[in-house]
Amino acid sequence: MQDGLEERWAEVREAFHQRSFSRAKALVLKIRSQYRSTAIVPWCDLELARIARQLERFREGVALAERAGLRPRLRHLANSAATLTNPDTHFDLVRPGIAVYGLSPVPTQGNFDLVPAMSLRAEAALAKRVQPGEGVSYGHVYHTAAATTLVLVPLGYADGIPRHAGNRGPVQVGGTRFRISGRVCMDQFVIDVGDQAVVAGDTVVLFGAGRDGEPTAQDWADAADTIHYEIVTRVGPRVPRRYVGTAG
């Protein structure tokens, strides 16, 4: 509280078809920060026009506050895409989200020199040889074509692995890429590694930066018909987090 007035944040919410703050309410507040988020990623000319309209309406919201005698100390509008592609939206600060993960908010426009900061890996729980024609995982939607090694990976859809990535999700073991074999289960999935020497305890990389040939979050998004935002944010609390390196 200062001068008998509360300090509050005010949001301009037109982007999601919700009302902006009212003038009557604004008059009893001392606005600390005025903000909104761009709702559209700039993939085409039509979307660029929509972003321009959102920017115009945000400026109108700021002008409304100023006409009411309010002076927001911070104005912020830009999400990751706007931060990287539209300097006009930067105002007093920016709010990157997916870019903090090192992932491009606009993959069609490149990676903006971002480096993925997150990797997901597990230790193989079991590796065993099987004969040709063996059904793998629920429903036996995958069958071995020859004598081969199957590897059990202890991550499943309860951990955020997309169930619909069965027979498609990419992994890397010992520097070689494979795909999930059969359906993703609640707590595990299986990969057919052929004659590659793999034993329990070997590292299975689901995704990472891609610098060593491992799949990326975008590869998983492509395999699961989704976006990489979902891939990196759906990893569940059962998966231990380990933070490496230092900031800066």
**pLDDT, mean of residues 173-196:** 98
Kindly report, residue by residue over 226-240, the tens digit of the pLDDT: 999 999 999 999 999
Question: In the chain, pLDDT over 90 holds for what percent of residues?
Answer: 58
Is position 23 within any domain?
Answer: yes
Is pTM beyond 0.75? Reply is yes
In the structure, how many helices (H) and strands (E) does the chain have? Answer: 5, 12
142 and 93, same domain (yes or no): no
Is position 238 within any domain?
Answer: no
- CB hemisphere CA count around 51 (13 angstroms): 22
**pLDDT, mean of residues 168-187:** 98
**pLDDT, mean of residues 129-139:** 97
Q: What is the pLDDT of residue 69?
A: 84
Q: Which CATH number belongs to the domain containing residue 126 in this structure?
A: 2.40.37.10
Polymer length of the chain: 248
What does the angle CA 5 – CA 10 – CA 16 come to, to the nearest 5 degrees?
160
133 and 222, same domain (yes or no): yes
152 and 190, same domain (yes or no): yes
CA distance 246 to 219: 27
Q: Is the pLDDT of residue 104 over 80?
A: yes
User: Of 109, 133, 148, which closes a domain?
Assistant: 109
Does 37 or 105 have the greater pLDDT score?
105
- 19: DSSP letter: P
Q: Is the pLDDT of residue 57 over 80?
A: yes
23 and 128, same domain (yes or no): no
pLDDT band at 23 (very low <50, low <70, confident <90, very high): very low
177 and 201, same domain (yes or no): yes
**Cβ neighbours, 10 Å, residue 213:** 11
pLDDT band at 6 (very low <50, low <70, confident <90, very high): low
Q: What is the pLDDT of residue 26?
A: 35
Coil, strand or helix at 206: strand
Q: What is the pLDDT of residue 123?
A: 98
What is the count of structural domains for the chain? 2
Does 12 or 53 have the greater pLDDT score?
53
**pLDDT, mean of residues 57-71:** 85
**pLDDT, mean of residues 172-188:** 98
CA distance 139 to 144: 14
Q: Is the pLDDT of residue 24 over 50?
A: no
User: Of 109, 144, 168, which closes a domain?
Assistant: 109
Q: Give the mean pLDDT of the chain.
A: 84
Determine the structural domain holding residue 55 and report its residue range: 6-109
